[in-house]
Amino acid sequence: LTFLNDPLCSLTLTKLDSVTGKPVPGTVFAVKDGNGNLLGSYTTGKDGTVTVTGLVPGSTVVVSETKVPYGYVLNTTPQTIIVKNGSNTVSSGGPAGGNTNTGNGNDLTFENDPTVNLTIHKYIEGTANEPLAGVAFKVVDGSGAPVGPGDGTFYTNAAGEIVIEGLEPGTVITAREIKTLEGFVLDGSPKSVKITAGPQAPELIFWN
């Protein structure tokens, strides 16, 4: 009698920066079976990849991010794969399915949007962009909640700038001047910008 056994499969997870395409190390994935049982937690290395071993051919595996390094937005969309020897089927959007792609090898690729820095500029009107330091702004998101620590109040520095770090793409940010310097007219008109991931950093410019 001859018995044949399929070898166990492995699955390679790859994490990339959505803007630059560079690998993102230090991303943690939760790997579960089709019934929701946790198979393990895996962290990407310097090359942005990690390999899950010991998977049964033909079984369903669901992968989701649980932690991303500072400077990136967590990708909350899980991916589902049926691991096979030589090929796989990938469904975007979790076990319920979505767009299905067929390729060779057991591989899943996730992309993360980097967080974005917003710069607010304050200049003196009638000058060649002469900065105005010490001007106070109130900064809120699209729901009206204050941005950053405290109550969302920021002051321009010596360069006439306020830099707000770590904003998630898709967020709408509104800034309004609430206090200026003696000898200048307060510009109380708010300005808004939608934060987007890309090579061009967003900015808002105000004049006094």
Digits of tens for pLDDT over the chain (208 positions)? 998 877 888 999 999 999 999 999 999 999 999 999 999 999 999 999 999 999 999 999 999 999 999 999 999 999 999 998 854 555 444 433 333 333 447 999 999 999 999 999 999 988 888 999 999 999 999 999 999 878 999 999 999 999 999 999 999 999 999 999 999 999 889 999 999 988 788 999 999 8
**Residue 158 burial by CB count (10 A; 0-12/13-18/19+): exposed, middle or buried?**
exposed
Pair 22, 51: CB distance under 8 Å = no
Closest CA relative to residue 139, chosen from 165, 177, 167: 177
Q: Strands 107-112 and 9-17, how do they pair?
A: parallel
Tokens of residue 11, six digits:
């699955």
**Residue 64 burial by CB count (10 A; 0-12/13-18/19+): exposed, middle or buried?**
middle
Identify the H or E element spanning 46.
none
**Residue 117 burial by CB count (10 A; 0-12/13-18/19+): exposed, middle or buried?**
middle
